[in-house]
Structure 1
């Protein structure tokens, strides 16, 4: 009995405390509870109305449970998940009609994809070291190959490891009431440098910011946003371990544009920019930012089981202050299938003022003379690559690339690039679908207008998984 009395003491104390609470406070709690119950009843009525509206729109019986309605075929839409060469399907609830402009549009599918890419490379340069933290340390950047004066050349060897080119993408496709499709696409990687004092370096965190690669919307024949230039043929790019491989001979540019495609033809107006080399290269080249007219491109494409072939044209106006100049270029490229296990990929480009479009802006678009007048520079470049599949899991590639520029040394001086070339060979093994392990050996040379040259050798390996 003593134990029982002790066990009742907490209950007695609790009752005593409750009795001491002022009556006004108790009445206030009751009023609050009553108000909340009224609100809950209103919300339930609104929910019933929404369910009835949804049932009417989807043809579901009014008496069906909410769970049955959500699981019905009319309320589910397939979402395709991009897996870089393979695809799988998921199911995402379609929009619930709750009023104009609300919810996710019916008939919308979603795709996401990307890859994880680990790069490890050892580089030897004949004329000094490529500066740490610059693009040439992450991939082959032709303009970064060091060239030194005679007697100052010093051979250097160094290694770099990074995962900055890992990327992800997200896309949506929506079918409109009239049967047209609206596609939106955005893609980013980690090639964006650091965002604070400890980021973007190899001391502590190796943290890097996001870089926008693509962001565009496509409706019918029209595309608006940032993506590959219409002057570039990405389908012709070789299968490389390096980011681009034969860079100096490659047209490579992503920028904002408005594009129209009809059958084999496509036309675009794209973001303009003029790169300028000062007279006798007395200072670093610069971007003028004075352009008023967009760059204009046109492309024709034909393709089949044999591969593809395409021709593209580019027209530009250059502007620096009140001075203007004009330029234009052509590019021919494609892929030729030689059976199930072999293909040849190629590109040949050239023209006046092709500078920033070729070889990661290996040369300038224009040069200033002694009077400050601007003149367009001519340049040419190309590559050829052979791809061979030894087995379904093992493939190899051999590529050669070259670029040359018609510099007027009386205006440019002797320190600008005259030629650049590179060879590379690789082997890529895929032990599982979308999983690559590769190794690549490359040699490159850059020669200046004054005749000085420097070379680069690199052993590059990567591990890449696409999802």
Structure 2
């Protein structure tokens, strides 16, 4: 990305006038006490770091609560903004953190590999690179949990080409299909798509807050013939999402999202359900799902604030195809108290209760108490 920008910015035709470099990010430490009602979660599993609806243990035996400390959500980002003599500008953004990455342990160094979050540049109305999914409406709760209200959230980042014109956004994005075998079983990550995901979104904005409507059309595809299988099929998936942030006072707000579709799969609930299931004829059938959340944030004064939220996801499985081991529902609620002595520092505590249920009726709960402290930083410099 940096090399491409250097070529564009440095070309005589472009006529670069000045580039502003902004370095930012935050340092965050999380301390968590988590109790699982129906099983144990191994060290290194992502659900030990933040709420992943599909990873809550079910049908097992309860053990003692787990204590985890980590600073893996800490992140660093770099933004460049180059003004051109033509009056246009080129903006780039790169960000990384350390969540869900291998390379570390809790025995000696607690070191972890960095992972890519964002890497994109914008020129005019165009965005090229990896960033938030266009189908994702930016209205997440003010929670200490990394995602917050993950069950009913459209959430993710991926490579894309996006065009923005006023309130309209259109994008083609990297496709991927997750499949449930006939009768149930482990998730199949197909990687057999031949058509990108197509996304459109319209954004409203006013003194009252923000509101967005998004739609997606996607191909669900799976081909195992090269490995000796007999399945080579595809079907269509679709989804609609609405949501936004609505002001209820000088600082208070309500944040909400509601999404539904056939074949949403990986887009909702951190891939709580798959996009499609294989039927008895070796064909793909899209799996329907509906989810959402609502969160209310209240400022007690200039330094203290709280958020309470509820999130859910309901999957409409065809049980004879998916089997009784398929995820059926996920729910969570949380409440927190946050203190910011300055705009750069946030210290707080949060309680979350989350549940996961299978089609068989087997379920499991998670109760988590979390303490976090975060320091955000940002500074800029210019170069001619």
The 1-side partners of 2:243 and 2:207 are apart by 16
The 2-side partners of 1:355 and 1:419 are apart by 14
The correspondence for 1:185, drawn from 70, 74, 93, is 93
Match of 2:380 in 1: none
The 1-side partners of 2:24 and 2:98 are apart by 15
Larger gyration radius, structure 1 or structure 2: 1
Q: Which has the higher contact order (CA 8 A, sep 6+)?
A: 2
The 2-side partners of 1:100 and 1:438 are apart by 49
Query: Any idea what the Cα deviations from partners look like across 1:154-178, whole Å, max 9, x if unmatched?
Result: 2441110000010010011111121
Higher helix share goes to which structure? 1
- Matched residue SS, 2:17: coil
- Matched residue SS, 1:111: strand
The 2-side partners of 1:288 and 1:141 are apart by 22
The 2-side partners of 1:384 and 1:309 are apart by 14
2:96/2:116 contact within 8 Å kept: yes
Query: Any idea what the Cα deviations from partners look like across 1:365-415, whole Å, max 9, x if unmatched?
Result: 001112321111000100000000001000000000000000011000011
Q: How does 1:65-464 map to 2 (within 5 A)?
A: 105-148=16-59, 152-195=60-103, 200-234=104-138, 236-281=139-184, 283-321=185-223, 322-464=232-374
* TM-score, reference length from structure 1: 0.75
- Matched residue SS, 2:144: coil
Per the TM alignment, residue 244 of structure 1 is displaced from its structure 2 partner at its CA by 1.2
- Matched residue SS, 2:109: coil
The 1-side partners of 2:53 and 2:29 are apart by 21
Per the TM alignment, residue 153 of structure 1 is displaced from its structure 2 partner at its CA by 2.9
1:192/1:208 contact within 8 Å kept: no
1:194/1:207 contact within 8 Å kept: no
2:17/2:85 contact within 8 Å kept: no
Higher strand share goes to which structure? 2
- Aligned structure 1 segments of 4 or more residues deviating by more than 6 angstroms: none
The 2-side partners of 1:418 and 1:351 are apart by 15
2:46/2:100 contact within 8 Å kept: no
Q: Give the paired residue count.
A: 360
Query: Any idea what the Cα deviations from partners look like across 1:140-164, whole Å, max 9, x if unmatched?
Result: 111111101xxx4324411100000
- The 3 A distance-change label for structure 1 pair 181 and 323 is same
* TM-score, reference length from structure 2: 0.91
Runs of 5+ consecutive residues of structure 1 not aligned to the other structure:
1-94
